[in-house]
Structure 1
Amino acid sequence: MTKQQERARARRRQAAQQRGTQQVVSESTKDKRLFGVILAVILVVAAAVAVPHLLPDADTSPAATPKPAATTAGLQPGQELAAGCQQPPALQQTPKSFATVPDKKTAAGRTFLATVTTTCGDLTLELDGTKAPQAVASFVFLAKQGYWAPSPCHRVTSAGIFVLQCGDPTGTGSGGPGYGFGVENAPKDGVYPAGTLAMARTSDPKSNGGQFFIAYEKTKLPTSGGGYTIFGRVTGGLDIVKKIASHKALPPNPNDGTPVSPISILSVKVTEKKA
């Protein structure tokens, strides 16, 4: 082999080595790019999984569904007072909390009358301690403790479910008295006649506490989890609830949300009904 041929062979060998090195670099670069794409996909998926846990439950049943609320006295944007209503007061700065469920024996076999004074007038209620002793014992206890003074009715629904939900001093729909108890006296058919007074809860059957709802029209609710405790009825002022409901809710969902026309509980007085 001539020297010229040897030099040509050496050049070819060097070029082949360079191509091999370039190929390794190229594969390495592609691997890095692929890893970056995979990592980005993982982060996007992780974010998508995490976000729903930060959002409120979309359940439309009368539950403690979180809703935005004003922190000072006055109207929220888009709200307007209904005829005969006063401006709602500021929310409680430090809502009361209790560690122990009230003893149901304090209400068992007894009937109570309640007057709920609101910014739109008085609602009168009759509480059935025979059929729902635990719920009535809790309601009477919280009333005497001034738990709801004041508190807004934070939710109104008007499509299939016709209720006004009240009883959360925080105004968010997620507040409670610090304790919970199970379901009592829930209708097997899930039907709640107009004027029904019942406990609101989350999907947990033992999450009954301070929130309650009034059905202003006949309403059929899910029976899953045992349904919702009926513990009394409205004996006066249902027209007030219907008036608030007629104005529906603030956007984005006029059929379920914060009432356009606000109503707040100012005080609750309870006495035992004598035979």
Structure 2
Amino acid sequence: MAASSRSARDAKRRIQQMEAKRELRKEQDKRRKRDNVLAAGAGTAAIALALVLQLTVFSANPTEEQFAAAQADLAAPSASATPSATPAAANGENIPKPETAAGKTFTGELRLNSGTLGVELDGTKAPQAAAVFKSLADQNFYNGVSCHRLTTAENFGVLQCGSKAGDGSSDPSYTWGPLENTPPDNNYPAGTIAVARTGGNANGNGTQFFIVYKDTVIPADAAGGYTVVGKVTAGLDVVTGIAAAGLKPGGSATDGAPVEPVTIDSFSLK
């Protein structure tokens, strides 16, 4: 009977371990698919998730061998749901040259289905980024594209837009660098427009950007900070209103899709 009880407990513990690891994998895939900008925040979430997993898996006083095996599995990377940016594609034929924006200031409007923002891009401090977004806007690339991600943490408030698929995935054929005009103190004031990118890759910029609607701190990753390309000059209350409405239920308490879908009607610059 004792051996049978131990066997049942071992089987139950193995099932708990597998279920906990499966949930971890789902969360990791979801994070990777949503992409880029919150590399530091995602790292914090992963640590918290690992602690939850440990409490779930190790509540039955595991052996040292079981602990080591589970820790090794936690450390093993899972397949990415988003193609990695290809540094070789940076500044390729389909990327406009920074000279087309150098020394210029572009002004215009970002029209969302929930309101209009006045915007300004700085070609002096971020010529490559300004050239990219001016080119994409001129091509009507953003028309109908969603703002798929909203964060509502106390010191982390951004609305991220520009994924053509609407799920945070990026286009591996449209990547560019380098980083420009990154804040040395990791502070992104309310109204900042910055470029989202693949974590840890200075050439991992693409078509996505994020609007900071309240003063936000984003710790730099291995590649550095995030290119500040411009600012909101009017209508920031449109974004704060989107944030106030909250997040779609079923995900993170502070990071996910806006409860009301947000799409870009048009993005014009001159």
Correspondence for 1:55: 29
CA displacement at 1:222 relative to structure 2: 1.2
Q: Match of 1:211, SS?
A: strand
> Which residue type is aligned with residue 249 of structure 1?
L
What are the superposed Cα offsets for residues 101-142 of structure 1, whole Å, 9 maximum, x if unpaired? 111110000000021111112111010000000000000000
Correspondence for 1:163: 158
The answer (yes or no) to whether the contact 2:35–2:198 under 8 Å persists in 1 is no
Q: Match of 1:172, SS?
A: coil
Give the aligned length: 197
The answer (yes or no) to whether the contact 1:63–1:202 under 8 Å persists in 2 is no
The reply to whether residue 214 of structure 1 matches residue 211 of structure 2 is: yes
Task: Give the distance between the partners of 1:246 and 1:53, measured in 2 at CA.
Answer: 25
Task: Give the distance between the partners of 1:99 and 1:170, measured in 2 at CA.
Answer: 23
> Which residue type is aligned with residue 175 of structure 1?
S
Correspondence for 1:235: 233
What are the superposed Cα offsets for residues 133-176 of structure 1, whole Å, 9 maximum, x if unpaired? 00000000000111111111000001131100011121100133
Higher percent of residues as helix: 2
Task: Give the distance between the partners of 1:153 and 1:135, measured in 2 at CA.
Answer: 19
Distance 1:53 1:161, change over 3 A: closer
- Which of 182, 186, 189 is residue 182 of structure 2 equivalent to? 186
> Which residue type is aligned with residue 104 of structure 1?
P
CA displacement at 1:177 relative to structure 2: 7.5
Q: Match of 1:227, SS?
A: coil
The answer (yes or no) to whether the contact 1:177–1:210 under 8 Å persists in 2 is no
> Which residue type is aligned with residue 203 of structure 2?
K
Q: Match of 1:139, SS?
A: helix
Task: Give the distance between the partners of 2:144 and 2:233, measured in 1 at CA.
Answer: 22
> Which residue type is aligned with residue 159 of structure 2?
L
- Which of 193, 200, 218 is residue 196 of structure 2 equivalent to? 200
- Segments of 5+ residues of structure 2 without an aligned counterpart are 1-13, 40-91
The reply to whether residue 258 of structure 1 matches residue 238 of structure 2 is: no
Task: Give the distance between the partners of 1:214 and 1:238, measured in 2 at CA.
Answer: 9
Moved more, 185-194 or 254-263: 254-263
The sequence identity of aligned pairs, in percent, is 43
The answer (yes or no) to whether the contact 1:193–1:219 under 8 Å persists in 2 is yes
- Segments of 5+ residues of structure 1 without an aligned counterpart are 1-39, 65-97
> Which residue type is aligned with residue 161 of structure 1?
F
Q: Match of 2:164, SS?
A: coil
Q: Match of 1:137, SS?
A: helix
CA displacement at 1:62 relative to structure 2: 1.9
Q: Match of 1:105, SS?
A: helix
* Backbone CA RMSD of aligned residues: 3.0
> Which residue type is aligned with residue 207 of structure 1?
G
Q: Match of 2:107, SS?
A: strand
> Which residue type is aligned with residue 231 of structure 1?
V
Task: Give the distance between the partners of 1:186 and 1:200, measured in 2 at CA.
Answer: 12
Task: Give the distance between the partners of 2:206 and 2:28, measured in 1 at CA.
Answer: 23
Task: Give the distance between the partners of 1:129 and 1:267, measured in 2 at CA.
Answer: 21
Task: Give the distance between the partners of 1:136 and 1:124, measured in 2 at CA.
Answer: 15
Task: Give the distance between the partners of 1:123 and 1:162, measured in 2 at CA.
Answer: 17
Correspondence for 1:102: 96
What are the superposed Cα offsets for residues 3-54 of structure 1, whole Å, 9 maximum, x if unpaired? xxxxxxxxxxxxxxxxxxxxxxxxxxxxxxxxxxxxx9xxx8xx97xx5798
Q: Match of 1:197, SS?
A: strand
Q: Match of 1:261, SS?
A: coil
Task: Give the distance between the partners of 2:172 and 2:130, measured in 1 at CA.
Answer: 14
The answer (yes or no) to whether the contact 1:199–1:208 under 8 Å persists in 2 is yes
> Which residue type is aligned with residue 62 of structure 1?
V
The answer (yes or no) to whether the contact 1:155–1:164 under 8 Å persists in 2 is yes
CA displacement at 1:180 relative to structure 2: 1.3
